[in-house]
Structure 1
Amino acid sequence: MNWDIAKKDFKRYLQLERGLSNNSIEAYLNDVNKLESYCTYTQLPLDAIQTRNLQQFLLFINDFHISPYTQARLLSGLKTFFAFLQIEYLITTNPAEHIEAPRLNRKVPSVLNIQEIDALIGAIDLSTAEGMRNKTILELLYGCGLRVSELVNLKISNLFLDVEFIKVEGKGNKERLIPIGQQAIKYLKIYLNEVRAKGPIKAGFEDIVFLNRRGAQLSRVMVFLIIKDLAKKIGLTKTISPHTFRHSFASHLVEGGADLRAVQDMLGHESITTTEIYTHIDRDYLQSIITQYHPRS
């Protein structure tokens, strides 16, 4: 079994059968490349790898002080690779199958309360074209729980405002429909009709919703900078990013009693386990209320 051929076939499998994004595919291949480098150094052929060899590899990697999260992700990538080899090359066992990943302390994401969100949006100067665009961006990030990549790639042809839905392309090129509220619809229409329609539009970006002042697609970095500047403007000490609005969207829905499966669908999470992190936020919030107001606390 040849490393180059196996990696080439694995890449094709991830693209065609798993439908993963280019970034995800690159991450998987990087995991395999690390193992290949180790096996080349130890003169271990691909078809001779056993569980104890992978355990030695993980110990070797650990010496570089790689975080438990990175080690867990690396192991997950290798399990997928060897599972593929079982299917494609009929190897008898998956040497990574029974190796346990390091325990992870799941980090609860930072969220904004509604007063902080209102303050950020209220700090936008609506007298400028960029200001109206930026307000629309924040209304969509918070109102629909979009990833920043989904926001900057949003298409006019995927806006169904008459039925109050938008269609976005998420991870792995998977499309999903998300309900959009009246507030976001209001500012989206103002931006499209009164700002975007009057500005320059470069060829190739006619269907993209959010454009920069030169008429090209707005970049992810620009959205980060917009939010950082607003946080500085209102003196917000929390470290926030576009993803903070997505976390806040989910957290506020769960706090309000929304069904977890519905939140999972809106966020585009493959596993309900990922969405369940927001129940921890809700419990932390309730605990803080008890601590603050209960006489026995």
Structure 2
Amino acid sequence: MSATRPRALYRQANFYITLLLLLLLGGCTTSPTGRSQFTMFSEQQMASIGQANFQQMKQEEKIYRHPATQNYVQCVSNSLFAVSGTPGNWEVVVFDDDSPNAFALPGQKIGVYRGMLKIADTPARLASVIGHEIAHVQARHGNERASSTLATQMGLSLASAALATQDGSDERIMAALGLGAQVGILLPFSRQHETEADLIGLDLMAKAGFDPRESIALWENMRTNASGSPVEFLSTHPGHATRIRTLQNAMPTALQTYEAALRQGRKPRCSAP
């Protein structure tokens, strides 16, 4: 190995170490539940990306043009927005797809697939879904996910430089590092997001006057209709039983919030078509 190669590798490794330290020092925020977060991007950047992607989706995917259904989903959503404390203009679109799914993007964009309405078959169960998606946006989960992915990629580049030999990087070691990063960092991080969104969404639906116990009924429906659940350790989402248990543990507080909302006259009147 030439003398210049170790020096070049040292400079490359030093660059990544310095950059990672700067990012770690400058990217600390706090989620709505008080959890420390690592975010590398501004909310303006994330909102711009989310809005652009949502616009593209509306052009490429079929929108469900059924006014009664759209009005129903909007009614449930508006009830949640009213208690979310999140300023700005939310947009909710129903897509004509049989998948029992929904998603949220930074920039206050929410998509609900028509198939989800068969699982979330009451206004309160739909509120559980949409509250969960609002929570993802409020808690900056998209920012965290993008930040952790970029930081992990930078860390792997650093490891590649440090492990380089005369014949180049040991591909087997790098493959193991890639698996370790995926299982040890990225997937559990995403499960943490899902659990946090479940809890924030539970609080939102209770504040809006939707019975929080319906969130458990929703996940019972999801479990019944699931064709097969992946191993939780290798999944980006908690298992159905785990989610139900988490919601059950949080239910006493949610019921107190719900009863307070009813006393304040909050009782959404959204009728499924």
TM score, norm. by length of structure 2: 0.24
Higher relative contact order (CA 8 A, sep 6+): 2
Structure showing the higher helix proportion among its residues: 2
* TM-score relative to the length of structure 1: 0.23
